[in-house]
Chains A and B, each alone.
Chain A
Amino acid sequence: MTPEPISNLRSGEQATLLSFGGGRAVQNRLASLGFTPGVGVNMTQNYGFGPLIVTVRGTRVALGRMEAAKILVLRSRVQ
C-alpha cells in the first residue's frame, strides 16, 4: 500500500487519512471538520473531475480537486 491523494479514490471507496497540506489556514479548517491523521474517510462522490464529497466522522465535506490533491490517504484493502 502506498500513500496517494484522496482524489484517487473512487466513489464508495474507504481509506485512512495520512497527512494533509494546503497551508495553515486550510489545515486548521480541515482539522476542525474532522480530518486528523488516522481517521477513516469514505469517498462519497467522485466523478474524476471537479469537486468531490468525502464523508469523515459522519460529516459530508465538499472539497475542491486542488485541496483534495494535497490530502494523502492509504486505501483500505478491498475484500
Chain B
Amino acid sequence: MSDCHSDEAPISFSAETPLIALAGQPNMGKSTLFNLLTGLNQHVGNWTGKTVERREGIFTHEGREYRLVDLPGTYSLTANSPEEVVAREFIVRERPQVVLAVVSAANLERSLYLVAELLTLSAPLIVALNMMDVAAQEGIQVQPEALSAALGVPVVPLIASRAVGVRDLLALTRQALEGNLSFCPNRPAVRADHRQILNQIQTLIENYIPQPYPPEWVALKLFEGDSEITRLMEGLLPEAESQTLKDLLRQHDDAFLAVASGRYEWIAEMLRAAVRQPKIGQIGLTERLDRVAAHPLWGLALLAAILGLVFWLTFTLAAPVQAWMEQWLIAPFTAAVSAMLQPAPFWLRSLALDGAIGGVGSVLTFLPVLVIFFAAFALLEDVGYMARAAYVMDNLMHLMGLHGKSFLPLFLGFGCNVPAIMGTRVIDSWPARLLTILIAPLVPCTARMVVVAFIAPIFFGANAVWVSWGLVLLSLLALVLSGVLLNQFLFRGQRSAFIMEMPLYHLPNARTIGLLVWQRSAAFLKKAGTAILAMSLAVWALSFLPNGDLNTSFLAQFGRLLEPVGRWMGFDWRLTVALLTSLPAKENAIATLGVLFGNSPQAGLTQTLAATFSTATALSFLVVTMLFIPCVSTLAVIRQETNSWRWTAFSVSLFSGLSLAAGACTYALATALGAG
C-alpha cells in the first residue's frame, strides 16, 4: 500500500505491549477469532461501571506479546445500548494502536456499516474479511484486494472457524504497528442535501468539543440524535449556542436517515468494487430449517423436544458423575480433614466439616450438572438455534410485556439462576431487563429440584414424579403471573421493541463451546469459593453459637420466634430453620434436617421425616422451597446487575410474600382435602 496523504503521520510503534482492539457486529465470528488468538490467556470481567462483559487477552506472535481487547458486538456505534457506548469510548479514549474490524464475506453489506462508523472515528483499521467459506457456499465471490483498494485500508481474507488466514492477519497487524502500513481510508460522506447543515453544526460547536473526540464525529452523532453526545454537548455549550443547536436539530429530526442512507450508499460503492457475483435468490439451508424451527406450532414443539432432551441428557449424564464425586472426592476429603483435625477443638472441626465442607462441598457436586447444561446451551447458541427459540417464544413472553429475547436467560435459569440473571444482558431495554431479572428466580434451578427429589418420594411414593412436575409447573405459573402483575403495576404495561437478527445456521465450533463452558463453570467455582463459602460459614456460626448445639443455637431461637408464622404453612420450628439455612444454597435444607433430627444417617432421616410430618406439611414445604427467597449467590448477582439495593430488597420481599402465601394456601387446601 502506498502513501496517499503526506500529512498522515505513521502510527508509532510503542515499546510496551501493543494494544489491539477487536470490533465487529454480532454473528460475524468475532468471538471465534478472539478465542483462536488468546485461547485460555483471557480474562473475563466487566467494563468499569457498566454491566457489559469485558474480555481481554494476551497472545504472542513471532516472539512478541500483544494485548487484545474484545469490544462488545454491536451493529453501530450510536448510543442505543451500553455496549455501543463502551465500544466507541474505548476506541476514542484508549486509542488502540490497531483496530481489527471483523466483517462477514457472506453478509458484507450489513457488516460494512460498522466499518463505516469506525472509519469516521479515525481508528487505524484492518478489516478481517471472515466467513470466506460460507460466502463461497452461498455463491458470493468477494475480492479482498479490490475491497482493500476501495476502502483504503488493509483487508485480510479469513476463515476463523478453521484458523485459515490468521497468520496473514497477524503479519499485517505487525506491519501496521511498526508503521510500515499507511492508511488512506475512503470515509463515507453524508448525503449532499444534508452536508451544509452538518457543517453548520460543526462550526457552532467546534470550540466546545472536549479533548479526545474528533469534531466531525461529534457533529455527526448530534445529527444522528445520539442521546449521550447530545447530553454531553448540551452541558458544555453556552446558553445561546445550545438553543441554536436544539433548533437546528429539531428542524432536521430525520437527519439520522440521511446519515444511515449515506453510509449504505458508500457501502454500495464498496460492494460494486469488490463483490463479483452477488447472492442469487436461492433458498438456503437456513430458510429450509426455519420452516420448522421458526414455525409458530412446529417451532414450539421442536423447542419443547430440545428442552426435554437437554434435561434428560443433563441428569442422565450428570447423576453418575455426581455420585462418583460424592463418594470418591467429597467423602474421602471430609474423612481426611476430620482425621487431621482430631486433636483440634470441637468448634474448629465443626467449622471445617459442617460449615466449609458441608456448605461448599454440596454445592460443588452440582458442577457436573452445570457443565453439561452449559455445554448444551452453548452448543445451541453457537449453531444459531437460540435466536429461533427466542422467536417462537415471543408470543408467550408478550403476556408479561416482555419479548422473545427474555426467554433465553430464563432458559439458562433451569441450570442455575446466577448465569440466568447475568444473561439478561442480551435484553436491550432496561425495564424489560429489570422485569426479567425480577422473575428469573422463579425458574426452578437444579438445586431446588434436588430438595424436591429427596422429599417427594418420602411422602408421595410412586406419585413423586407427578408431584415434581406439578411443582415445576406451579413455579412457571407463578413466573408468568408475577410477570403480568409486575408489568402492570411497576412498568404500566410498557412494551419494549423486539428487533433481533436471525443469524445463519452454522456448524458448531468446539473451541468456542469449550471456552464458554469453562468460563461459566470457572465463574461458578469462584463464587463457591467466595460468596457461598462466606455465607455457609455465617449460617454455620448462627447454628453453632452460643453453645455448640444446633437445637439451642441462635438460628434455632430465631426459628422458634418465627414458629407462629411457620404454623400457617404447617411447619414446626425445625422446618422453618431448614428453610432459612437454604438461603446460602437451596439444597442445604436437607443437610439441616439431617442435623436437626439427631445427625441420623440419611436412610434413617427419611423414616423420621415420614413419621414426623403430614403429607400436607410436606407439600407445603416443597411449594415454599420452590418459591422462597433466592439463594445468596442469586441475590448478590441481582444486586450487581440492577446496581440497586432497593430492587434486591424488593426481590427478597416479593419472594417471602409469595412463598408464604402459596405455602399457607397449599397447607389449608391439602388439610381440607384430608391430607393433614
| A contacts, CB < 8 Å to B | 22, 24-34, 36-39, 44-45, 47, 49-51, 53, 57-64, 66-67
Known: A24-B225, A29-B75, A57-B109. A62 touches B290 (CB 8 A): no
- The complex places the Cα of A3 from the Cα of B109 at a distance, in Å, of 26
- The complex places the Cα of A64 from the Cα of B394 at a distance, in Å, of 8
Q: 8 interchain pairs (CB within 8 A)?
A: A25-B227, A28-B76, A32-B113, A33-B499, A33-B501, A53-B502, A62-B391, A64-B403
Contact among A33, A57, A58, A64 for B75, CB-based, below 8 A: A33
User: Which one of B124-132, B256-264, B353-361 is at the A interface?
Assistant: B256-264
The proximity string for B residues 539-574 relative to A, scoring 1 for CB distances below 8 Å and 0 otherwise, is 000000000000000000000000000000000000
- The complex places the Cα of A67 from the Cα of B398 at a distance, in Å, of 13
- The complex places the Cα of A36 from the Cα of B261 at a distance, in Å, of 6
* B78 proximal to A (CB < 8 A): yes
* B107 proximal to A (CB < 8 A): yes
Contact among B110, B227, B404 for A62, CB-based, below 8 A: B404
B residues less than 8 Å from A28 (CB atoms): 76, 78, 80, 224-225, 256
Output the nearest chain B residue to A70 by Cβ-Cβ distance.
B497
- The complex places the Cα of A67 from the Cα of B109 at a distance, in Å, of 23
- The complex places the Cα of A36 from the Cα of B295 at a distance, in Å, of 28
B395 A61 Cβ-Cβ under 8 A: no
Q: Tell me how far the C-beta of B297 lies from the nearest C-beta in chain A, rounded to whole angstroms.
A: 9
Contact among B107, B287, B500 for A44, CB-based, below 8 A: B287
A residues less than 8 Å from B76 (CB atoms): 28, 31-32
* B272 proximal to A (CB < 8 A): no
Q: Tell me how far the C-beta of B570 lies from the nearest C-beta in chain A, rounded to whole angstroms.
A: 43
Output the nearest chain B residue to A32 by Cβ-Cβ distance.
B76
* B370 proximal to A (CB < 8 A): no
B261 A60 Cβ-Cβ under 8 A: no
Among A27, A36, A47, the most chain B Cβ lie within 10 Å of the Cβ of A36
Q: Tell me how far the C-beta of A53 lies from the nearest C-beta in chain B, rounded to whole angstroms.
A: 6
A residues less than 8 Å from B110 (CB atoms): 33-34, 57-59
* B488 proximal to A (CB < 8 A): no
Among B260, B295, B394, the most chain A Cβ lie within 10 Å of the Cβ of B260
Q: Tell me how far the C-beta of B190 lies from the nearest C-beta in chain A, rounded to whole angstroms.
A: 13
Output the nearest chain B residue to A11 by Cβ-Cβ distance.
B291
B109 A36 Cβ-Cβ under 8 A: no
By size class, the interface of chain B is: 35 or more
Contact among A30, A47, A58 for B499, CB-based, below 8 A: A30
| Given A45-B294, A51-B395, A62-B391; 10 other pairs, CB 8 A cutoff | A29-B499, A31-B76, A32-B260, A36-B261, A53-B290, A57-B264, A58-B109, A59-B107, A59-B109, A61-B502
* B498 proximal to A (CB < 8 A): yes
The proximity string for B residues 98-140 relative to A, scoring 1 for CB distances below 8 Å and 0 otherwise, is 0000000001011001000000000000000000000000000
B78 A32 Cβ-Cβ under 8 A: yes
* B286 proximal to A (CB < 8 A): yes
* B387 proximal to A (CB < 8 A): yes
- The complex places the Cα of A50 from the Cα of B391 at a distance, in Å, of 9
| B contacts, CB < 8 Å to A | 75-76, 78, 80, 107, 109-110, 113, 224-225, 227, 256-257, 260-261, 264, 279, 286-287, 290, 294-296, 387, 390-391, 394-395, 398, 403-404, 428, 495, 497-502
B residues less than 8 Å from A38 (CB atoms): 261
- The complex places the Cα of A34 from the Cα of B107 at a distance, in Å, of 11
The 8 closest A-B pairs by CB, nearest first: A64-B498, A32-B76, A31-B260, A60-B502, A32-B75, A51-B394, A50-B395, A57-B109
B501 A59 Cβ-Cβ under 8 A: yes
Known: A51-B498, A62-B500. A31 touches B403 (CB 8 A): no
Known: A31-B257, A34-B264, A39-B264. A61 touches B497 (CB 8 A): no
Dominant secondary structure at the A interface: mixed
A58 B107 Cβ-Cβ under 8 A: yes
B499 A67 Cβ-Cβ under 8 A: yes
B256 A66 Cβ-Cβ under 8 A: no
Known: A28-B80, A64-B394. A36 touches B499 (CB 8 A): no
- The complex places the Cα of A67 from the Cα of B404 at a distance, in Å, of 13
- The complex places the Cα of A51 from the Cα of B407 at a distance, in Å, of 14
Among B110, B287, B390, the most chain A Cβ lie within 10 Å of the Cβ of B110
B260 A66 Cβ-Cβ under 8 A: no
Q: Tell me how far the C-beta of A25 lies from the nearest C-beta in chain B, rounded to whole angstroms.
A: 6
B residues less than 8 Å from A39 (CB atoms): 264
Q: Tell me how far the C-beta of A40 lies from the nearest C-beta in chain B, rounded to whole angstroms.
A: 11
Q: Tell me how far the C-beta of A7 lies from the nearest C-beta in chain B, rounded to whole angstroms.
A: 13
- The complex places the Cα of A15 from the Cα of B106 at a distance, in Å, of 23
A45 B290 Cβ-Cβ under 8 A: yes
Q: Tell me how far the C-beta of B408 lies from the nearest C-beta in chain A, rounded to whole angstroms.
A: 13
- The complex places the Cα of A22 from the Cα of B429 at a distance, in Å, of 14
- The complex places the Cα of A63 from the Cα of B498 at a distance, in Å, of 6
A61 B256 Cβ-Cβ under 8 A: no
- The complex places the Cα of A66 from the Cα of B260 at a distance, in Å, of 23
A residues less than 8 Å from B256 (CB atoms): 24, 27-28, 31
Output the nearest chain A residue to B388 by Cβ-Cβ distance.
A62
B residues less than 8 Å from A34 (CB atoms): 109-110, 113, 264
B residues less than 8 Å from A66 (CB atoms): 495, 497-498
- The complex places the Cα of A30 from the Cα of B498 at a distance, in Å, of 11
B257 A53 Cβ-Cβ under 8 A: no
B294 A53 Cβ-Cβ under 8 A: yes
B499 A26 Cβ-Cβ under 8 A: yes
B260 A62 Cβ-Cβ under 8 A: no
B residues less than 8 Å from A32 (CB atoms): 75-76, 78, 80, 113, 260
- The complex places the Cα of A66 from the Cα of B290 at a distance, in Å, of 22
B residues less than 8 Å from A58 (CB atoms): 107, 109-110, 279
Q: Tell me how far the C-beta of A11 lies from the nearest C-beta in chain B, rounded to whole angstroms.
A: 10
